[in-house]
Amino acid sequence: MTTPGSTVTAKVRKDRAAGFDVAKARQDFPILREKVQGKPLVYFDNAATSQKPQVVIDTVHEFLATYNSNIHRGVHQLSERGTEAYEQSRKKVQRFINAAESREVIFVRGTTEAINLVANSYGRQHIRAGDEIVISAMEHHSNIVPWQILCEQTGAVLRVVPISDAGEMLIDEYEKLLTPRTRLVAVVHVSNALGTINPVHEIIRLARRQGVPVLVDGAQAVPHLKVDVHELDCDFYAFSGHKVFGPTGIGVLYGKAELLEAMPPYQGGGDMIKSVSFEKTVYNDLPYKFEAGTPHIAGVIGLGAAIDYVNGVGLDRIATYEHGLLEYATEALSAIPSVRIIGTAEEKASLISFVLDGVHAHDVGTILNHDGVAIRAGHHCTMPLMQRFGVPATARASLAFYNTKEEIDVLVGAIHKAVEMFG
């Protein structure tokens, strides 16, 4: 994998990868010892959800088995221990993305809820009829539909930045769309369907020049790239815990404190208030103002363990190793005449979408499953992007640092079987 604006040489990559033992890393993931269809599992569906290391499984189990409790309001030992673990996870997230303060970290269900929170709170407060929201043509539905709903409610207009045939955002066109009417830019960091790594530094810099706030959908970036929200200078950054080796049902919205302070609550209920009467409610301080009701406590604590684990492996080593896998897989799939890769950006994450001539993606996925290979087939919640490339669906192999070149060889062999079957 490469990073935006990277000038990393092969030697630097080799140095960064030094000491990475994929066989040892695989031992941390018990599911990788499973068999599917009687064959060793080859898991290439990491963009949908990643597998969980034993330490995350153990951490969640320990909470549920030894100190399961509700947090913040209890005065007994279990609740105090649960509260401490929950808030420690918030601090781990803060350090992981280099947020200035832990109160800038809001726990939500996932990236989708994080974006909906901003659309419903910041959006309804600041966006009016005739205003414009800028997104790109490669967005996940979760970064399209919330803004469409907001536009329907306010009379605002959604503007879409086009992309090239390689799947790269056309920055010149983006710059033209930034006008005095632009009120928000919402873009994906890494495309879940193409693997494109967008130049978010430049996207944010251009928006900032006109005083336009930027939300970044980081769901596919955080498991693979070092994310520094301070360096990016983004206003909001959203990601999901289950993509970064944590539990499902937990995610993070980062927001600059001054913006979050001024935003109204997204949901009402317990824990997000200081006092309630029938005449008036006084809302709680950040971050609790946006965390109504009992949160996913086990998920938050598990996410903290996942972040510790990723930090232990090292994102530099993960990125370097995955870059090698991507190069290997791209070369191997490109050598199959009937395979067409969708998304050939220069800066790309460890993900390959492809179509097989004369074979529907769902059939490809089914055939690969017979060899124990798990990929994703479909529109990947990016239907406008599929239309842009003139295909109904793609097959998608998304890699993680626990995958190997030998597994890619299995994938290639299974694709050859599909070619023979439908040839």
Query: Which residues are part of the catalytic machinery?
Result: 381
Assigned token pair, 345: 């950006």
The encoded tokens of residue 43 equal 């898991």
- The sign one gets for the Cα dihedral 255, 257, 258, 264 is positive
- Decide: 20 and 321 in contact? Cβ < 8 Å: yes
Own/partner pairs, 203-210, CB within 8 angstroms, 24+ separation: 203/169, 203/171, 203/174, 204/232, 204/233, 204/234, 205/233, 206/171, 206/174, 206/175, 206/178, 207/178, 207/182, 208/233, 210/178, 210/180, 210/182
Closest CA to 163 of 131, 133, 143, 187: 187
Contact 63, 300 (CB under 8 A): no
Strand partners, 39: 36
Q: For residues 64 and 59, what is the distance between their CA atoms, to the nearest angstrom?
A: 9
